[in-house]
Structure 1
Amino acid sequence: MINSKNPRTLAAEIITEALHDGQPLMATVRKKAKTMSSQDASFLKELVNGILRHKLYLEGIVDAFVEKPFKAKNIKVKYAIMAGLYQLAFLNTPHHAAVNETVKAVGELGFDTLKGLTNAVMHGYLRKKGELEQQLNKSYETRYSFPQWLITDIKAAYGKSLGTVLENLNRHPPLTVRVNTAKCPIDEYIKLLSDNGLTGTPVPKVPCALVITPPVNTEKLPLFDSGAVFIQDAAAQQAAIFLDPQPGDIILDACAAPGGKTTHILELCPDVKDLVAMDLDEGRLMRVRENLQRLRLKAKVVSADASSEDHSWSPYSAYDRILLDAPCSATGVIRRHPDIKWLRTPDEIKSIVKLQRQILENMWQMLKPGGIMLYATCSIEPEENTLQIKNFLSEHSDAELIPLTAEETAENPGLQILPGLDDMDGFFYAKMKKNC
């Protein structure tokens, strides 16, 4: 049965559940979108992501017209109003439609007494739009809607690139796929896309990556069911390329879920001796198994804690190559998960850095002498990336940096991909060899 609930109503409920009740954002969106028409489901996702991308900007508008802050019992109303304001400020929705539907959504949430307030805020914004825009664009915090601590971190790390980084993290992410060229050469797949009214644009230096326009659902991607394509950002696709698997290797993909990098390793080198895909979350490992099955690939999938010194889960005592896609703040993929802005804290990042180091130390023990480790994160925080590897190298005489760029040194190791470069997510890679 199609859900006839106003998407603005659902958006307010979803954001409340994500920011105040600890519910996973995208899982909640998918759950509620299942019973909606495809058009309404797409609109719901647009509203949820848009409100979270521009949260402080939209709250600034609300605060200009509402004297008393919303309480926990009616916080959904605030998010419903922000959904309407997002339509007016960023989607150019016809004024009457945005106002009327937002007022209707507030009633649907059970707050008929606040319909008048909702109407007043919406019309107030339309009257003072220019003035409010000028005021809210004065500070980075409201202009780009980022918490001040994260702005400070990014400025300290990237200086004059601050505005560009923030802007790119707020952009809509592209639909990027990885093409298994053994099943379909890139040129042929680009032609298949064209035959289906789609455009595939190659990504520089990532030979199997194509950005698809316009974005479509997986069922509209040619050869998706046959396993010839996999949805994966071009930055993430570089993990398997940098790892450079070789025939006969025994490989560990640590923290492997949902399996994008696992499957890519097997596509690049079908003649590896074995690949073990390990992750702590048994639920997420189901995705690894599903992806392996769809792409018709085989690996050993095990549930284990990468930070534990108990290695009884491992079918091998040591590995030729280890891909450590470490737990991280995910600040490099905020454009795909805008709730990260509001859920991360400085203290949490400190805890993440500590956990990363524990896992790094533990996985290093499982690497054969002469073996290769590729450390990866989808973060742009130096503490999780360059500084993490710099400290590790300084404390391990058997660790040798294998530069991925000409600029790398032991004092400044790794490749940091900033969000937006060639339309990629933010990622970090560092490659090391274990000497005898």
Structure 2
Amino acid sequence: MMQKKGMTARGLALETLVQWTGSGKPVQGFINRIIHDSGLKNEERQLAVMLVLAVLREQEYLDLLISSFSKTKLRKMKPLTLAALRIGVVQICRLERIPDSAAVNETVKALKKMRQPGWLCSFVNGTLRNIARSKESLPSPEEAGPGGTPVLNHPVWLTERWQEHFGREQMQAICRVNNTEPALCLQVNQVRTDQETLAEQFSEQGIRTEPGSFALDSLILQEQRGAVTDLPGFTEGLFQVQDQAARLACELLRPFKEQGRYLDGCAGLGGKTCILAALLPQDASLVAVEPDQRRSRLLQENLQRQGLSEKVETVQQGLQGFAADDDRLFDGIFIDAPCSGTGIIRKHPDIRWNRQPEDLVSSQKTQLALLQTAATLIKPGGVLVYATCSLEPEENQQVVEQFLTTNPAFALTDCRDFLPASAASLVDAQGFFAPLPTEEIEGFFAARLVRSAL
């Protein structure tokens, strides 16, 4: 891979933010294409990604600071100008490891290498230097809002609905955690190792870990910032990256049957597929359905790496097509439905800026269709788990309620009865598994539905 001449971390971050702005698409695709495929050294690529994600997490706060130092209104700035200022300010005010001089000089240098006019470079340079000189007296995000209130760094429509659903204090707590960088959470592959052995292996390499508070096979790496593929045991398939919430949701298919037949109806890259394959009895079988060619290939690679490919039949097809072509019935089906992703904003900070209120209703049709199709594939007495990484009732409770109304053969069961005691607090009064985002776990939702045996 050839490195483009003169390319820098700030330049890559600038280009990524500018191309992403207004696209409505996940920023990760831009990061992959612009940063990861750049040919720059690993440290520079990591810095570029860190800058992009830091800007997205603190965008509202950064804009408040820029507005107080710039005579030009933000709405009149070109996307490149605003992105450069945001990148500069996030380094000055939020990334303590970067000297102010480097933050200013390297950001301006990136603009010059993009052949921006001298007056624009001078404007950005002057604005950033003024902010750097005043940074000791600048308000923190906790007090920079109106009347000294916290800056939430989320669109108003989202914070208003969270306040309505969860209360003001809980809403602010969710926003606060979403504005921080998450620790790396790994799920230990119990087929090949155990939590204690893997923790010792990391410790020998100077990598500090701690067990997850909720899921029994989880390891948390608070200080890990490098590539996951460089961690000891990755190539050997000793673990995978997966949050505790997703790990726990897989438990809801219990009790697993000897010689049982199971289906992952929306397999994606295979995170939950691998967990299910490791949980199942040795003589049980698992089918993983994924229509996208790229994701299907990565699903197979993940299964292969973790030594689970022989236990899983992968099908590159959508669930509806699979149901039409295959007459098998299953003892358990896991549906991890596509959704708004508002529970995983901490990991994917662009979600907050990409979503609109109408998105929450538009996804209902797809989610219900997946559930209805899955219902035709369940044996009498079988278990159907519906899951999302959303906090929104339209995609969660309302979907389950509509499904139960039209499918009287299914009944809701209490998730608490199938989770470890450490996760009991994550189940709500209705019996749904519904953790809100915290420092330790992502926001998630899962319902456990059982078809009557008759």
The two structures have a TM-score, normalised by structure 2, of 0.88
Residue matched to 2:129: 123
Written as runs of structure 1 = structure 2, the 5 A alignment for 1:235-314 is: 235-244=245-254, 245-298=256-309, 299-306=312-319, 308=320, 311-314=323-326
Alpha-carbon distance, 1:395 to partner: 3.9
Aligned twin of 1:429: 446
Q: Take 2:296 and 2:148, find their aligned partners in 1: how far apart are those partners?
A: 39
Give yes or no for contact 2:264–2:273 (8 Å, CA) kept in 1.
Answer: yes
Partner of 1:152: 160
What amino acid is aligned across from residue 419 of structure 1 in structure 2?
P
Q: More displaced, 79-88 or 118-127? A: 118-127
1:250-399 equivalences in 2 (<5 Å): 250-298=261-309, 299-306=312-319, 308=320, 311-314=323-326, 316-399=327-410
**Aligned equivalent of 2:107:** 102
In structure 1, what is the equivalent of residue 422 of structure 2?
none
- Does 2:62 align with 1:58? yes
Give the aligned residue type for 1:248: Q
Shift of 1:192: 1.1
Provide the residue aligned with 2:89 in structure 1. Answer: 85
Structure 2 CA distance for aligned equivalents of residues 29 and 115 of structure 1: 25
Q: Which amino acid aligns with 2:177?
A: N
CA distance in 1, matches of 2:284, 2:427: 32
Distance 1:60 1:205, change over 3 A: closer
Quote the Cα distance in structure 1 between the aligned partners of 2:31 and 2:178.
20
Residues 427, 433 of structure 2: 8 Å contact kept: no
Superposed CA offset, 1:176-215 (max 9, x none):
1111233222212111111110122111231111012421
Counterpart-to-counterpart distance in 1, 2:126 and 2:427: 58
Q: For residues 132 and 100 of structure 1, what CA distance do their matches in structure 2 show?
A: 24
More off after superposition, 407-416 vs 391-400: 407-416
Partner of 2:8: 6
Q: CA deviation at 1:95?
A: 1.9
- Structure 2: give runs of 5+ residues left out of the alignment: 418-424
Are the structure 2 counterparts of residues 133 and 209 from structure 1 closer, same or farther at C-alpha, using a change threshold of 3 Å? closer
Q: 1:413: Cα distance to partner?
A: 4.2
C-alpha separation in 1, matches of 2:148 and 2:322: 46
Look up the match of 2:421.
Answer: none
Q: Which runs of 4+ in 1 moved over 6 A?
A: 139-142, 406-411
Match of 1:218 in 2: 228
Q: Residue 136 of structure 1: SS of its match in structure 2?
A: coil
Find the residue that maps to 1:16 and give its secondary structure. helix
Shift in Å at residue 154 of structure 1? 1.1
8 Å CA contact 2:266, 2:335 repeated in 1: yes
Secondary structure at 2:20 match in 1: helix
Show the 5 A alignment for 1:14-93: 14-22=16-24, 24-31=26-33, 32-34=35-37, 35-64=39-68, 65-69=70-74, 74-92=78-96, 93=98
Tell me how far apart the structure 2 counterparts of residues 343 and 61 of structure 1 sit (CA, whole Å).
23
Q: CA deviation at 1:23?
A: 5.2
Structure 1 residues 414 and 38: CA distance shift in structure 2, 3 A: same
Offset, 1:18: 1.8
Q: Distance in 2 between matches of 1:63 and 1:95?
A: 19
| In 1: Cα distance, 2:322 partner to 2:216 partner | 38
Structure 1 pair 313–292 and aligned structure 2 pair: CA distance change class (3 A): farther
Q: Is the 8 A contact 1:2 1:37 kept in 2?
A: no
The answer as to whether partners of 1:19 and 1:343 remain within 8 angstroms in 2 is no
Deviation at 1:24?
Answer: 4.0
RMSD: 2.5
Partner of 2:243: 233
- SS of 2:416's partner is coil
Once residues 408 and 222 of structure 1 are traced to their aligned partners in structure 2, the CA distance between those partners, rounded to angstroms, is: 32
Cα shift at 1:382:
1.9
Inter-partner Cα distance in structure 2 for 1:218 and 1:51: 23
C-alpha distance in structure 1 between counterparts of 2:123 and 2:147, whole Å: 27
Q: Distance in 1 between matches of 2:148 and 2:350?
A: 18
The code of the aligned residue for 2:122 comes to G
Is 1:390–1:411's contact at 8 Å kept on the other side of the alignment? Answer: no
Report the alpha carbon displacement of residue 140 of structure 1 after superposing the two structures with TM: 10
Tell me the matched-pair count.
432
Residue pair 2:51, 2:87 contacting (<8 A) in 1 also: yes
Q: Distance in 2 between matches of 1:16 and 1:408?
A: 39
Contact in 1 for aligned 2:426/2:435 (Cα 8 Å):
no
Tell me which residue corresponds to 1:164.
173
Deviations 1:402-435 (A, max 9, x none): 20137999983411111116x1111111111001
Query: 1:164 Cα deviation (Å)?
Result: 0.7
Alignment of structure 1 residues 406-425 onto 2, 5 Å = 412-420=430-438, 423-425=440-442
SS in structure 1 at match of 2:216: strand
SS in 2 for 1:372: strand
Q: Secondary structure at the match of 2:339?
A: coil
Aligned partners of 2:356 and 2:139: how far apart in 1?
29
Mean CA deviation greater in 54-63 or 43-52: 54-63
**Unmatched 5+ residue regions in structure 1?**
none
